[in-house]
Amino acid sequence: MPVQIKIQKIFKWAATIAVAGMAGAMMVASAAYLYLAPLLPAAETYRNVQLETPLRIYTSDRRLIDEIGNRRDPVDYTDIPPLLTDALIATEDLRFYSHPGVDLQALLRGLYGIIRGVNLGGGSTITMQLTNNLSFDSDKVYLRKIKSIPFALQIERELTKEEILTLYLNTAYFGAGADGIGAAAYVYYGKEVDELSLAEAAMMISLLPCPSACNPLSNPTRAIDRRRVRLANMLRQGMINQSEFADADRSPITAQRRNRDIEVSAPYVAEMVRQQLYDEHGEEAYSQGFEVVTTIDGDKQLTANKALIDGLENYYDKRHGYRGATANYPKELYVDENGDAKEAWAKELQQVSVIGNQHPAIVTSVDDLSFEAVLKSGQTTKVEWDGISWAYTFNSRNDAWPPPDIAGDAVQTGDLIRLKNMDGQWQLGQIPDIQGALVSMSPSNGEIIALVGGYDFRHSQVNRVITPRPPGSNFKPFLYGTALEQGYSAATTINDAPISRGGYRPNNYENNFLGPITLRYALKESRNVPAVRLYDQVGDDKVLAFAAKFGFQTQNFPRNDLTVALGSQDVQPLEVVTAYSAIANGGYKVEPWFIKEISNLADGTVFKAKPITVCENCPTTSDDVAAEIIPAPRIIDPQVAFILNSMLRSVIEEGSGARVNRELGRGDLMGKTGTTNGPQELWFSGFNRDIATTVFIGFDQPEPLGEREQGATIAVPIWIDFMKVALEGMPENTMKRPDGIEDRLINKTTGAPATPGEPDTIFEYFRTQNAPTADGALLPSIDPAGEENEELSTEAIF
């Protein structure tokens, strides 16, 4: 009896504890529910899934530049084939139709697995997973799971099982920018949901836990393995038979990405568009079917991409030597049972991106004058000596030596390197550490027709077209334009002789002095000392006011700083090309713009651009056409613009831009190089009446590029490569000569009037009011310097 009494007491206490525990658990659960219930979404906020269409960005001829955001195309339950829901239930939630939204058995199994340190499944039902699709994105895993329990119970009370399955499949992310099964069926297979085969349905369900890493586009081998597991689950549950399993398991991957079929790569433009629409519309910019037509000319953009990428590689990076392999993967650590490391190396390469033209590869063998390497695809390729011989050893920006004598001087087995395909032949390459930008604009209305903000957007998202850097001599035309506006002429002479002001002693690139030279010659040869003298004479107030009319933010420039004359102050390449466009169009201020039209699914067209346009003979305001044209304001006299055009033509004919003339042979091109101290930045801006283009080159963290570099060595050839194609088939077009311009025969060196037959003469352009008189006498001169300055005094001839 005592033993029996003792047992009864034990059971009594156990029962009491159990009841108390259950009561406590119920109280905790009730308290948790009461606390969480107000935080749970109401049914009307999630019951109906809305169509989502991503932002699409196009060139001016409607070629796709980018698609940003996810696609969602909701489907009804009647559109979903049973094999799809069977695959989902067999894999994710076998007791879906019998539990109330929470499967206690599965939760306890998952908890037991955590205690034992083994994976027995997470315990989440389809309904609980649906709660994560609908809410709690920012919560941590455990908090999210706790919140999902009352939410799942609420969903089960408010929706039928069929509605839950439909909502789940409409809100799940399937990778490749596809939200929901409707979008996924189209993106991967180009089909409606009810047209999916068994193999395709199983593949879709296999994506749900890891839509990016497991999808058949990014990892076909893994995707097939995961599909097989889903098919086996269906077979085990009797949802399919053995024959159906075998047929589906043998099915090849037929998935192809059908959205985001980019036709013209312009990621820096796409980001500019994305930012503007996000500023205006927030997150809705990515889901409301916005379509943006830009000003970008598709063919010219493709040409600009190639010109900048190839130019940075060939005109700079390869000339400065080979910096060596990124890493080395020793063969002995990667060989398989057959002594081959290629498969293991190829797997390592899956983690390395293609950047620009440069494909990652690992060297598999090295011969005397060639080597072999495996690519990301697993393909092995051979690189011959012609693709290796350039790889002089990089020592510094000014020293690349010695050249390789054999392939082993450049690469070793196991090296992680870069290869570039040139006309079907692979060459040793490397990702340039130099950066650059190219932007091209129409001088008629400021529309941007091509824009490349760097070597590769994936490598660096910094848009160098809108990043301020010192322009060097690219700024000089605006100094000389000021002088012309103040009464100087291209024939005015200025002294190219040593000067000093407050310890500042400018020098010429050639380290020599030429004495008195004309302004045309000084600009053509980009002489620094005459530019500093001229800046001092004209005065910074006039120069900065003149430059401001062209769009430069001169309110931020220092005063009484002679280095401004040489382009020491930061400006954006976009500002520079806009300013040069005003010279090209004859003196009208245009504004840069890049969006022509915006539309969306709900409202149709919501924006059409009305750009400021150069219009020399605009219709009257009563004309209907006038309402469609916003005339560009004139900022300088046409005579000043014409003479400045002609001075920049001299740069192309005989000066630092002479390579342009040699290679393009057109008579309508003008431009100016720019090189800063170091040199750290290289520029070239050039134009005809139809296209103005600026090229910038430099490191993101400014440092010297090498003693031999200047604007003419890198920026000019990149500009040529672009403009050669951009101008193909276009007739020559320059600013027309305006009234009020006269030409006189002058001595080319001194600027003095000359007579026919004299040597070293040219016909120079003058504004009528300061042209030499018919008898050769000069007009009265004005004192451009104001007060006499002993150190900087000079004589001027008009």
737-748: per-residue pLDDT in tens?
999 999 999 999
State residue 796's pLDDT score: 33
State residue 354's pLDDT score: 95
State residue 505's pLDDT score: 95
627-647: per-residue pLDDT in tens?
578 999 999 999 999 999 999
pLDDT of residue 791 exceeding 80, the answer is no
The proportion of the chain whose per-residue pLDDT surpasses 70, expressed as a percent, equals: 86
Handedness of CA 16, 17, 19, 23 (dihedral sign): positive
Given the DSSP bridges, would you call strands 595-600 and 291-294 parallel, antiparallel or unpaired?
A: antiparallel
User: Among 90-104, 440-454, 537-551, whose mean pLDDT is lowest?
Assistant: 90-104
764 vs 50 pLDDT, higher one? 764
pLDDT of residue 101 exceeding 60, the answer is yes
- Segment 96-103 mean pLDDT: 87
- What residues act catalytically? 92, 473
State residue 34's pLDDT score: 61
Strands (E), 27-136: 55-58, 64-68, 71-72
Query: What is the band of 17 on the pLDDT scale with cuts at 50, 70, 90?
Result: low
Q: Report the C-alpha gap between 206 and 232 in whole angstroms.
A: 12
Q: Report the C-alpha gap between 59 and 265 in whole angstroms.
A: 10
Cα–Cα nearest to 179, from 135, 133, 241: 133
State residue 783's pLDDT score: 38
The rounded mean pLDDT for the chain is 89
pLDDT of residue 464 exceeding 50, the answer is yes
**DSSP code for 316:** I
pLDDT of residue 138 exceeding 70, the answer is no
Q: Determine the Cα angle at 195 with ends 192 and 200, to 5°.
A: 100
Cα–Cα nearest to 391, from 431, 430, 432: 430
pLDDT of residue 24 exceeding 80, the answer is no
Quick count: other Cβ atoms within 10 Å of Cβ 206?
25
> Do residues 236 and 431 make contact, with C-beta atoms less than 8 angstroms apart?
no
User: How deeply is 242 buried, as exposed, middle or buried, from its count of CB atoms within 10 A (0-12, 13-18, 19+)?
Assistant: exposed
Rg of the Cα atoms in the chain: 36
Cα–Cα nearest to 730, from 691, 766, 756, 785: 691
Q: What contacts 766, CB < 8 A, 6 or more positions away?
A: 489, 490, 491, 643, 741, 742, 743, 744, 772
Amino acid at residue number 590: V
State residue 787's pLDDT score: 35
The 3-state DSSP class for residue 112 equals helix
- Segment 401-429 mean pLDDT: 97
Q: Report the C-alpha gap between 422 and 387 in whole angstroms.
A: 9
Query: What is the band of 786 on the pLDDT scale with cuts at 50, 70, 90?
Result: very low
- Enumerate the β-bridge partners of residue 640: none
- Segment 478-483 mean pLDDT: 98
582-592: per-residue pLDDT in tens?
999 999 999 99
Handedness of CA 739, 740, 743, 749 (dihedral sign): negative
* Angle between helix 126-134 and helix 141-158 axes, rounded to 10 deg: 110
pLDDT of residue 113 exceeding 80, the answer is no
215-241: per-residue pLDDT in tens?
899 888 899 999 999 999 999 999 999
Tokens 């910019």 sit at which residue? 285
Q: Report the C-alpha gap between 35 and 355 in whole angstroms.
A: 51
> Do residues 301 and 444 make contact, with C-beta atoms less than 8 angstroms apart?
no
Among the ranges 98-112, 212-226, 702-716, which has the highest mean pLDDT value?
A: 702-716
State residue 774's pLDDT score: 56
Residue 421 backbone zone (phi > 0: left; psi -120 to 50: alpha; other: beta): beta
369-396: per-residue pLDDT in tens?
999 999 998 999 999 999 999 999 999 9
- Segment 86-97 mean pLDDT: 93
Query: pTM of this prediction?
Result: 0.87
State residue 502's pLDDT score: 84
Q: Report the C-alpha gap between 508 and 527 in whole angstroms.
A: 6
Query: What is the band of 617 on the pLDDT scale with cuts at 50, 70, 90?
Result: confident
pLDDT of residue 182 exceeding 80, the answer is yes
pLDDT of residue 11 exceeding 60, the answer is no
240-251: per-residue pLDDT in tens?
999 999 999 999
